[in-house]
Amino acid sequence: MLLTVLVLGGTILGATTIGGLLVLFQLRQTADLANSTKAAFAADTGIEWGLYEFFKNPSPGFLKPTISNGATYTTSCYKDSAMTQRVDCNASGVVVFVGK
């Protein structure tokens, strides 16, 4: 009877430990999803701001919008789609905006 109690106790302890570990992994995955969503919206904001500055704002240097969730972004202009040569955003030619 003592052996049965020890085996059942060990089995329940093992199952509880595995369950707790799985819950911990799920919580980490949820936090990563939230940060991924913040990054995606920050990139979209950077792209929209860069396009507005390029096409609509006659005087460059307008302040970047602030994102309330604390995410940051940069907007860069490149001469071609290979993104090898960075150029001024007011330069003529093909320009590719990349937010990150």
Give the helix/strand (H/E) hosting 97: strand 96-99
Does position 99 have pLDDT exceeding 60, yes or no? no
Does position 94 have pLDDT exceeding 80, yes or no? no
CA 91 to chain CA centroid, Å, is: 29
Domains in the chain: how many in total?
A: 1
pLDDT tens digits along 31-54: 788 788 888 888 788 778 777 777
Does position 82 have pLDDT exceeding 90, yes or no? no
Does position 88 have pLDDT exceeding 90, yes or no? no
Predicted TM-score (pTM) of the model is 0.48
Cα 92 to Cα 54: distance, rounded to the nearest angstrom: 11
For residue 60, the enclosing domain spans 2-99
Provide the mean pLDDT of the chain: 77
